[in-house]
Amino acid sequence: MNLPIYFISDTHLRLTQSGKEEEKRRNLISFIEHVIDKKGTLFIVGDFFDYWFEYKYVIPKAYFDVLTTLHRANERGIEINYVLGNHDYWVGDFIKNKIFTEVYSNNLNLEIDGKIFHITHGDGITSWHRGYRIMKKIIRSRVLIFLYRWIHPDLGYSFARWVSRTGRHPIHTEEYNASVLKELQSYAEEQWKNSADHVIFGHYHQAKHVINNKGTFMVLGDWIIHRTFGLFDGNEFSLNYWRE
C-alpha cells in the first residue's frame, strides 16, 4: 500500500445531471487525478454513489465519467479501496473486479506504517438508530437483492432517481451535530481500547478531526458541501479541503 493515503466519503454521485453535479464531478475527477500523480492510495468510505445497483449485465451509465477515471487509475497501479455505505451496498462483479482493488462489506482494521486504522462508513452507530439497524439487515439480505434484480433496470433506476430527487442531506443544528460527535467519540473510545490509533467515519456529513492523548477520530465530511479528505503521509494524519 503506497503512501500517501487519501480517504474520502459521501460524494453521493447522482443519476441526474445538474450544474452542481457537474461541478462536483469535475472536482472529484481532479482529485482522483491528483492521487494518480502522487502515486498514492485511495480509500472511499461509503456513499460514493447516491444509488448503485448492479444487475448481471447492466450498470448505471450515468457514472461513466467517474468510472472511467477510476478505471484509468486502476490500470496505472493505483490502489483504490471501497468500504460500502448505505447508498451503494449492492455491488457486483463489475465494481469488485474492474474498478476497485478491494471492496469491504463491513468495518475494517488496517495497519499502515505501524498505525492501526479503524475504518467504518458509520451508518447505524448512534443510539437512536435502532430501527435503522433492523432495516439495514433487511435491505442487505440476499433474498431482497435477488428479488430486486427481477425488476427491469429502467424501472429500478427510475425509482432511484425519484428517491434521489426527494432525498435531502440537511444541514443539522449545532445541538444535533454535537450529539452525533459525542456518540462517535464513545464508539472511537471502544476502538482505541482495542488498539486502534485512528478511527475514520463517513456518513454524518460533518468535517471533524478530534485529537486527544488516547487517539484520534475523523469524520470525513462530504463532497456535497465540504469537499474534504483525510490524508496520512506515514507520519501525520490530517483533514484537508480540496481546491481544484
Task: Kindly report, residue by residue over 109-167, the tens digit of the pLDDT.
Answer: 999 999 999 999 988 787 766 676 776 777 777 887 788 778 887 787 777 666 655 45
Read off the CATH number of the domain in which 80 is found: 3.60.21.10
| Amino acid present at 189 | E
Dig out the grid coordinates for 212 from the structure.
486527544
Domain count across the chain = 1
pLDDT at 132: 63
Rg of the chain in Å (alpha carbons): 18
Give residue 18's domain range: 5-241
| Residue 198 bridge partners (DSSP) | 117, 216
What is the value of pTM for the model shown? 0.90
